[in-house]
Amino acid sequence: GGGGKGGDDKKREIGEYYQQMLKLNPGDPLLLRNYAKYLHEVEKNVEKAEEYYGRAILASPGDGDLLSSYGKLIWETEKDEDRAQSYFDQAVHASPDDCMVLGSYAHFLWEADEEEDEEIPQGTAPAMIGA
131 vs 122: CA distance, rounded Å = 21
Does residue 129 lie in a domain region?
Answer: no
Q: Quote the domain boundaries for residue 14.
A: 1-60
Q: Which of 60, 82, 101 is the last residue of a domain?
A: 60
- Same domain for 49 and 22: yes
Quote the pLDDT of residue 1. 44
Q: What CATH number is given to the structural domain containing 53? A: 1.25.40
Last residue of one domain, picked from the residues 17, 33, 60: 60
Distance CA 20, CA 15 (A): 9
Query: Are 49 and 58 contacting, i.e. CB atoms less than 8 angstroms apart?
Result: no
What would the mean pLDDT of 102-118 be, rounded to a whole number? 93
Reduced to 3 states (helix: H, G, I; strand: E, B; else coil), residue 62 is coil
Please check whether residues 9 and 26 belong to one and the same domain. yes
pLDDT at 2 over 60: no
In sequence order, the 6+-apart residues with CB closer than 8 A to the CB of 60 are 29, 33, 66
Please write the tens of the pLDDT for every residue from 6-20.
778 898 999 999 999
d(CA 51, CA 2): 24
Mean pLDDT along residues 33-42: 96
Query: Would you state the pLDDT for residue 119?
Result: 76
